[in-house]
């Protein structure tokens, strides 16, 4: 029998029990894997102890999920369902997520380590907003009439791909799910989704609400499993026409390779980053410090757009470092239990991630950078790392070049605008950048010159479902959010109608 799990909490921010299924969600039902018996331990990163077990799927389960998704696309979804109806169901789904906001926030806190208040205000609220945004698009998928000659009527149709595969990361498991599910369902595709094996709980809770909202069976399916089994099966499946992946650049290459090796499925990739944050000497220093803390240490630094390379103009370097240091020390003092009201900084997601980040901190020390703040483990339980600042950093150092994906900042000094643009662009990544200046002309000039898919001027990580998101260079292919996301989930057909030409 498929299992269920429950987590009971009695904290200052959440009191109650969260129930969730632990099986696979296929064809609108909770099912056991074909090869039943194996499971995945889900761990609380605050303690390092297991909190649940979820079923472990395989390629066989992906095959079954694709078959039912294909059937649903042909018979009860896709072009057979008007956009208005798809939008209505998505709106209902958003309402249900909003209703259960506390439960989703609790799952994000205990499974990912996010502070409960942040998970509710940012991740869950952002998910609701994203689903509602794409619900509004569902009846606005439009082509256009194209003038040729008086003897031809020509127009375009934007049609769904059919079955799409989606692979979700562990750092924002609910929010990233909404970024992919929203546009895919809005445009009439059906889905086979793999959540991260480390953070599957909110996705499994989400599936319950998909059923409650009234989506036809088979439209949305979840197969739990590891990347090298379930993820690989999705990327290689011959009946999946598109795959969307968020994760590391290394794995993104494997996804792209698998698509090329099989049926040339369309691929969108949102990958790694090493985002520069450029602080000019005419910025609003107090606000700039605050925004840099937010852009770097949100989600314990486990964000692909973290502003992890801070370039500060020499005229205010000492003042910025002093202000940033004080802000980070205050932030570090709010490290602790994600369910405590004042917590701002939680644990890293796993032992593997903890070890990886500590390895980068050791590399920074070995390369000669100075640990200005932090650099050590916090506490004796769980996967907590102190917010860390490195100064005296050189561009060739490992901590200045590679994505750390943790609470580690490298601060460097610069003199001129031309110099900092060159330094900021000297990376294989191009996901985001940040520019701080009260000179609007300069701020925009620099934002335009930086090689990144998103530019944040005098602000931090403030993404919006209406604004496209994606990377340059090795940070990805394609865009999420906005009309651009709608375009990535549809294919264009040109229709030629003869109005009277005879042969």
DSSP state, 139? T
Question: What's the whole-number average pLDDT of the chain?
Answer: 97
Q: Rg of the chain over CA atoms, in angstroms?
A: 24
Six token digits for residue 450:
């930086």
CA–CA gap between residue 469 and residue 268 (Å, rounded): 12
pLDDT above 60 (res 236) = yes
The one catalytic residue among 270, 402, 417, 418: 270
User: Which residues on adjacent β-strands are paired with residue 495?
Assistant: 155
Q: Which CATH superfamily is domain 276-464 in?
A: Aldehyde Dehydrogenase; Chain A, domain 2 (3.40.309.10)
Residues in Cβ contact with 220 at an 8 Å cutoff, skipping those fewer than 6 apart: 25, 181, 185, 190, 191, 193, 207, 210
Residues in Cβ contact with 365 at an 8 Å cutoff, skipping those fewer than 6 apart: 371, 375
pLDDT digits (tens, 9 = 90+) for 189-206: 999 999 999 999 999 999
Residue 342 burial by Cβ neighbours in a 10 Å radius (0-12, 13-18, 19+): exposed
Percent of the chain scored above 90 by pLDDT?
A: 98
At 476, phi and psi to the nearest 5?
145, 180
Tell me if residue 270 is catalytic. Answer: yes
Q: Which CATH number fits domain 4-271+476-492: 3.40.605.10, 3.40.640.10, 3.40.50.720, 3.40.50.360?
A: 3.40.605.10
CA–CA gap between residue 146 and residue 193 (Å, rounded): 37
pLDDT above 80 (res 91) = yes
pLDDT digits (tens, 9 = 90+) for 267-322: 999 999 999 999 999 999 999 999 999 999 999 999 999 999 999 999 999 999 99
pLDDT digits (tens, 9 = 90+) for 97-151: 999 999 999 999 999 999 999 999 999 999 999 999 999 999 999 999 999 999 9
What was the pLDDT predicted at 1? Answer: 47
CA–CA gap between residue 212 and residue 205 (Å, rounded): 11
pLDDT above 80 (res 66) = yes
The pTM assigned to this predicted structure is 0.96
pLDDT digits (tens, 9 = 90+) for 357-395: 999 999 999 999 999 999 999 999 999 999 999 999 999
pLDDT above 80 (res 233) = yes
CA–CA gap between residue 69 and residue 181 (Å, rounded): 14
At 412, phi and psi to the nearest 5?
-130, 155
Residue 490 or residue 5, greater confidence: 490
pLDDT digits (tens, 9 = 90+) for 171-192: 999 999 999 999 999 999 999 9
Buried/exposed code over 162-173 (b: 16+ C-beta within 10 A; e: otherwise): bbbbbbbbbbbb
Region 240-256: mean pLDDT is: 97
Domain boundaries, the chain: 4-271+476-492, 276-464
- DSSP secondary structure letters along 370-387: EEEE--SB-SSSSS-B--
- The interaxial angle of helices 417-424 and 440-449, nearest 10 deg, is 30
User: Which residues on adjacent β-strands are paired with residue 395?
Assistant: none
E-strand stretches of 255-352:
266-270, 276-279, 309-313
């Amino acid at each position: 029998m498929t299992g269920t799990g429950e987590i009971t909490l009695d904290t200052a921010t959440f009191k109650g029990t969260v129930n969730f299924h632990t099986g696979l969600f296929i064809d609108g039902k909770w099912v056991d894997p074909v090869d039943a018996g194996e499971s995945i331990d889900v761990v609380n990163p605050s303690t390092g102890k297991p909190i649940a077990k979820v079923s472990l799927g395989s390629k066989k389960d992906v095959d079954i999920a694709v078959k039912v998704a294909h059937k649903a696309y042909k018979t009860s979804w896709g072009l057979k369902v008007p956009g208005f109806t798809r939008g209505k169901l998505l709106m209902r789904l958003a309402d249900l997520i909003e209703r259960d906001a506390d439960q989703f926030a609790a799952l994000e806190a205990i499974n990912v380590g996010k502070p409960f208040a942040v998970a509710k205000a940012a991740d869950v609220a952002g998910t609701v907003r994203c689903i509602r945004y794409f619900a509004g698009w569902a009846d606005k998928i439009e082509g256009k009439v194209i003038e040729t000659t008086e003897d031809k009527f020509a127009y375009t149709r934007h049609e769904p791909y059919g079955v799409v595969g989606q692979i979700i990361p562990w750092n924002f498991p609910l929010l990233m799910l909404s970024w992919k599910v929203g546009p895919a369902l809005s445009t009439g595709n059906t889905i086979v989704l793999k959540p991260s094996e480390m953070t599957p709980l909110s996705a499994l809770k989400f599936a319950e609400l998909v059923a409650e909202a009234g989506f036809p069976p088979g439209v949305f399916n979840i197969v739990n499993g590891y990347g090298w089994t379930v993820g690989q099966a999705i990327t290689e499946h011959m009946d999946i026409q598109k795959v969307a992946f968020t994760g590391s650049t290394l794995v993104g290459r494997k996804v792209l390779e698998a698509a090329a090796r099989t049926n040339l499925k369309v691929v969108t990739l949102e990958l790694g980053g090493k985002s520069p944050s450029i602080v000019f000497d005419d910025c609003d220093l107090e606000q700039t410090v605050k925004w840099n803390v937010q852009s770097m240490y949100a989600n314990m630094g486990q964000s692909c757009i973290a502003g992890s390379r801070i370039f500060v103009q020499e005229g205010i370097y000492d003042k910025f470092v002093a202000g940033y240091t004080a802000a980070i020390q205050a932030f570090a003092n709010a490290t602790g239990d994600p369910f405590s009201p004042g917590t701002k900084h939680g644990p890293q997601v796993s032992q593997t991630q903890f070890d990886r980040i500590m390895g980068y901190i050791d590399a920074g020390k070995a390369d000669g950078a100075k640990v200005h703040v932090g650099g050590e483990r916090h506490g004796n339980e769980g996967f907590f790392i102190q917010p860390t600042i490195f100064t005296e950093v050189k561009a060739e150092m490992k901590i200045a070049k590679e994505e750390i994906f943790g609470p580690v900042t490298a601060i460097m000094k610069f003199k001129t605008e031309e110099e900092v643009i060159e330094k900021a662009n000297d990376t294989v990544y191009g996901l985001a950048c940040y520019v701080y200046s009260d000179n609007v002309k300069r701020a925009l000039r620099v934002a335009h010159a930086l090689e990144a898919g998103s530019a944040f001027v005098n602000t931090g990580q403030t993404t919006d479902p209406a604004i496209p998101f994606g990377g340059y260079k090795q940070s990805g292919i394609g865009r999420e959010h906005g009309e651009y996301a709608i375009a990535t989930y549809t294919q264009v057909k040109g229709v030629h109608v003869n109005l009277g030409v005879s042969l």
